[in-house]
Amino acid sequence: MGDITDAAADASGPPTLTKETNLFMQIVVNPDGTVTRPEVPLVPASEVAGGVISRDVPSTPPPAPAPAASASKLPVVLYFHGGGFVILSPATVFYHGHCEAMAAAVPAIVASLEYRLAPEHRLPAAYEDAAAAVAWLRDGAPGDPWVAAHGDLSRCFLMGSSSGGNMAFFAALRTGGLDLGPATVRGLLLHQPYLGGVDRTPSEAGSVDDAMLPLEANDRLWSLALPLGADRDHEFCNPVKAMAPGALAGLPPRCLVTGNLDDPLIDRQREFARWLQDHGGAEVVVKTDVAGFHASELFVPEIAEVLFAAMREFVSTGDA
C-alpha cells in the first residue's frame, strides 16, 4: 500500500524553485523507453513523528470483520500522491511530511498509495492500482489494527494531489459500482487535479518559465504517461472533452475541487469543476481562488493549512 499515517510533522523546507532546478526537467528518457528519475530524499515510515505515527502496510491482507463505527473514530483518507505519474512516492520526504501534517490537522487516518509509475507502466496502470486500493477499504482495512482501533470506515474519502487528483477521479469512476461492504466512500477531494488538452489554456500558455510545472515538463510528463499513440485530448488527460457526461454517474455524492491561483493548470481545474457541477450528480464544492503555485502546500505551511481547513469543513459536513 505505502504509508499509513494516524492523526504532524511539517513538510521539508521549500527547495530553491526555478525552472533549471525543477525535478521534472531532470527526468532523462532512455533509448529503451524507460526513464532515469532524479533522486529525491526518502523518509521511512516511523512509529512516532511530531504527534503522528506511520507504518507501511501491504495492499492485500486477508479480509476481516469491520470495527463498529464510533463518533470518536477518525475518517479514513485514501491518498494518491503527485509527480506527473512518473516520479515520487509516499516515502518522498515532502509527501511523507504532508500526509503526517494532514493526518494531524484534519484529523484522519491517511493511507498513501505506492503505485506503478510511467512510462514503464503507462496509464491506466496507476488507475488500476488506485482501484485496487479502494477495494482494500473492504478487503484489508477492516482487519488493519490501526483502522480497527481508530478508523471509521463509514467515512472514507478518496483524495489526490496533481496527478493523484486525476487518479482519485478515475479510481472513483472505476469503483463506483463496487460493493465495499463495511466501507463507504463519502466523497472525493481533488486538489489541483492534473489535467490537459491539445489546445493551450491561457494559464498553460503563460507557464513556459514556471518554476514548479514549466510547459516543457508538462508536455513531457503527458507524453510519458498516456497510452502510446494517444494525444492530450485522451480522456485520461482531458475528460471534459473526451468523456460522455453519463460516465460521471458513479461518482461519490460529494466532491471538493481545490486549486491555486498561480498554478499553470488552474484554467483546466476550473473548467473541470464546472463540468462536474453541470453534468455530474454529485454536490461539487469549488475552492480555486487560493494564493500559491502548483504543489505549494508541500512547501508553504500557511498554504497547507488553507487546504487542511477546506478538508476539515468538507469531511465534517454531514457528521452528527
pLDDT tens digits for 26-41?
999 999 999 999 999 9
Query: What digits encode the pLDDT tens for the residues 146-191?
Result: 899 999 999 999 999 999 999 999 999 999 989 999 999 999 999 9
Closest CA to 94 of 85, 110, 83: 83
* DSSP H helical ranges for 176-300: 202-205, 215-225, 239-242, 266-279
User: What pLDDT score was predicted for residue 69?
Assistant: 43
What is d(CA 132, CA 317) in angstroms, rounded to the nearest whole number? 27
- The beta strand positions in 162-270, using DSSP E, are 185-191, 254-260
Residues of the chain whose pLDDT is less than 50? 7-14, 60-70, 320
Return the active site residues. 162, 263, 294
Residue 107, Ramachandran bin (φ over 0: left; ψ between -120 and 50: alpha; else beta): beta
141 in helix, strand or coil?
helix
User: What pLDDT score was predicted for residue 7?
Assistant: 47
The total number of residues shown for the chain amounts to 320
What is d(CA 35, CA 115) in angstroms, rounded to the nearest whole number? 16
Q: Cα 126 to chain center, whole Å?
A: 11
User: What pLDDT score was predicted for residue 320?
Assistant: 45
User: What pLDDT score was predicted for residue 72?
Assistant: 83
> What per-residue string of b and e applies to 210-239 under the rule 16 or more CB within 10 Å gives b?
bbbbbbbbbebbbebbbeeebebebebbbb
What is d(CA 95, CA 162) in angstroms, rounded to the nearest whole number? 12
Global pTM reads 0.90
- Grid coordinates representing 34 are 524507460
- Grid coordinates representing 216 are 516543457
Structural domains for the chain: 71-316 (3.40.50.1820)
Residue written as grid cell 488538452: 197
Closest CA to 191 of 248, 258, 95, 266: 258
| Residues linked to residue 160 through DSSP beta bridges, in sequence order | 80, 190
